[in-house]
A and B are shown apart, each in its own frame.
Chain A
Amino acid sequence: MIINILTRGWILRVFIMLLWLIAVLGRLVTPEAKFDVIVIAVFIVFANGFLYLALSFRLIMLTHQSMSRLLPNYFSQLKVALLTIFLISLLPTLLLLPDVIAWFAVLSALVCIAVIFVTLTYKTKLNYGICALFFLPSLSDNLPSFMAEINLALVLAWSFPLIAWGAYLLLNRLESYHGNADHISKIIAMNGLNVNKPLLAVDDVPVESQNRCQQWLIKSNLNDYVRIIRSSNKLSHRQLIAVTAQGLGSIGRSTYLSWAGILIAISLLAKHITGEHNAIILLLPIIFPTVMLGMGHLNLFQVINKQKGLLKRLSIMPCFNNKHSFSIAFIRYIIAEQLKLYSFIALVFAVFTYLFQFITFTLYVNILAVTASVFLVNLALMFWCWSNKQRFEGIILWLMLAAIIFCIIYLVVIADQQVFLWQSSKFIAVNLLAVSLFSISAYQSYHRGLREL
């Protein structure tokens, strides 16, 4: 049962099996090629890394459950379950890698990955260290020559006993490790909600469980609306909705400022990174606007869903006397908020494209065009969800997330293209479809009066 809890979810299991299967097929098709051994190893490490990441989130729930200290033999059974999963995850390594050195090297790497993921889940501050590792490739240029010649596989293989011993010590420490209670409860809250209601976690993590930066962001975003209440005698319909539709995950002025600050910092850092590693930095202008747009959509959708009750009560207030007055004000609010977000992204990236010239003007325009399509599709999905009686929040969230991921992949694929996308008839057709979807769902929302809100 503990193994079931740790590896719960068919998507996770099928995904990992699929990766293992690809590795097996790769080995069967080309058994001799050395290159393929590396590819297979990468596949196994990726699959197992994914498994360990999921496992670490479940593990924290089991180790910090209040009954964990009271159930007889709880930790010994938990340790057995962890070791069983780990040994099973090693089977593909054993079967697929013919070389003993490669086998022990991958084994060491897997133990290290497992330890890192578990440690990162329990100790949040280490995440910053991992972020710093992102820029490590640029530093490898400056490594002393003797270090560059070291065979990493050999080092990992020979270090296996040491790594395994360290991992075993850490495993035993889990029993007595308490950690930061706020952080642990946040992870548990997010994990519980994620498994139960996929992605519906952003607005459910209590303020006190968030880090200081997030707390400041939440406070200052909400304070803007407190000021609106205090400054004006009579709030407009849109202002009333804006005040009601705020939550912990809302994106406001402070979020925009923080994003701009992060972008400046990364751009300045990127300016100093040259050579082959610059390619990683070049991906950022593609990933960042899409991620910002995605966060804007997902957060707004989740916050509105969370505030449904309040918004429903607001809609029956006497100030919304006309049948459609609430719908009109609500649709206007959503569109205005999302346009604000889109304009911010367009403006900020225009400035950064001009100042830092990481991307060409053509790519900049193409990014805007593709994100505009995603913008319309996601808005259409949100309005469609809110104007229907059935509850589709979970599906809509996944669809929105899929649209964003697709957008990133598509932009990476067309990054080198020197033609404006609007010259492609296919792209125009897709955009027309997106516009139609948006128009229909917005009209539907107006007509049905946002019945499921």
Chain B
Amino acid sequence: MTVVIKIEALNKAYKNHQVLNNLHWEINQGDIVGLLGKNGAGKSTLLKGLLNLCDIDGGTITLFGEDHLNLSAQTKGLIGYVPQENDEISWLSVSDLIKFRKQFYTTWCDEKVHQLVKRWNIDLTKKIAELSPGQVQRVLIILALASKPALIIFDEPAAALDPEGRRDFLKEIIALASEEHITIIFSTHITSDLERVANKVAILEQGHICYFDDLDTTKENVVQLVISHKIDEKITVPYVLRSKQHPKYLQCVVSQLDPNWLSTMKNQGVEIHVTPMGLEDIFLELTA
């Protein structure tokens, strides 16, 4: 697997607040990563930092094997980015903005632009300032996709989109994901979107990636256990995240389900119910 992004010992602080703390992360080609994190966890800072859109205090970041501070024009052409906040020139019309952005890319796909503009009903004559936040978000997504990038980074792309827009956007990501070489990272709070699209999930907590694994493995591992036993019996559950003792049973959530432990317990006659959890619950448990 080719490593597309490699982050080592990344640090970033705003005044006295350490946002990213000795963060290590590696993303391979073809990964569709959903980045989760609480408000203010530093998701946007991480995404901006790795693209050199904000300065970092320490650490090294490489994109396609190049230092993120000195990316070649060719590598820059491989990257698409949809920011959380629109800072495009507000007085440009949509068509002018598209024209402006087109001149920087050799791989620009007009067909893609027309197709998405038509599908999303975007008025090309309108100025960016005159569009609704949802429409601006769609324009930004079009701009990011039009250059046919090999790495796309979306910073909360669906936040301003209506349900229809979100569905269309997810369809687009799924279509992109079907092309094997594309790598996508998107930060979001909407875990249902992530579940539909991502093949990996990362959780940013206390300045570092505290969890990064395949989505399916995550769902298999992070589960809720209900263990029926007598209250005077002492049971030790491995990888427990949270547990609550009830009169007749022990309820707990584990970050990893140990099959050996499970079979041992069953052999001992302990009744254990394994309940899968939704991604939203998994996120809440892992960051609790």
Binding site for B on A (CB under 8 A): 1-2, 4-5, 8, 61-62, 65-67, 69-74, 77, 178, 188, 192, 195-196
Contacts and interface: CB of A to CB of B under 8 A. Distances in A.
B66 interface: no
Interface stretch (B77-85, B224-232, B242-250): B77-85
Interface stretch (B49-57, B171-179, B186-194): B49-57
A70 B90 contact: no
B112 interface: no
Contact of A69 (B52, B83, B88, B89): B52
B72 to A, nearest CB: 8
Contact of A71 (B76, B90, B96): B76
Given A1-B103, A196-B127, A196-B129, A72 B90 contact: no
A65 B88 contact: yes
Main secondary structure of the interface of B (DSSP, over half): loop
A70 B52 contact: yes
A67 B81 contact: yes
A72 B77 contact: yes
26 contacts: A1-B99, A1-B100, A5-B100, A61-B89, A62-B89, A65-B87, A65-B88, A65-B89, A67-B101, A69-B51, A69-B52, A69-B53, A70-B51, A70-B52, A72-B105, A73-B73, A74-B104, A77-B103, A178-B55, A188-B87, A192-B89, A192-B91, A192-B129, A195-B91, A196-B90, A196-B127
B38 interface: no
Query: Which of A1, A77, A178 gathers the greatest number of chain B CB atoms within 10 Å?
Result: A1
Contacts of A4: 96
Contacts of B55: 178
A75 B141 CA distance: 23
A196 B101 contact: no
Nearest to A193: B90
Contacts of B103: 1-2, 77
Contact of B53 (A62, A66, A72, A188): A66
A77 to B, nearest CB: 7
A97 B100 CA distance: 36
Contacts of B87: 65-67, 188
A190 to B, nearest CB: 12
B104 A77 contact: yes
A192 B91 CA distance: 7
B73 A2 contact: no
The majority secondary structure among interface residues of chain A is helix
A4 B103 CA distance: 13
A77 B53 CA distance: 19
Nearest to B106: A72
A121 to B, nearest CB: 16
B235 to A, nearest CB: 53
Contact of B83 (A66, A72, A74, A188): A66
B48 interface: yes
A195 B91 CA distance: 7
B83 A8 contact: no
6 smallest CB-CB distances across A and B, nearest first, come from A72-B73, A72-B76, A71-B104, A196-B91, A195-B91, A72-B77
Nearest to A185: B87
B125 interface: no
B74 interface: yes
B131 interface: no
Contacts of A69: 51-53
Contacts of B129: 192, 196
A200 to B, nearest CB: 12
B185 to A, nearest CB: 14
B92 interface: yes
Contacts of A72: 73-74, 76-77, 104-105
A5 B92 contact: yes
B177 to A, nearest CB: 22
Nearest to A9: B91
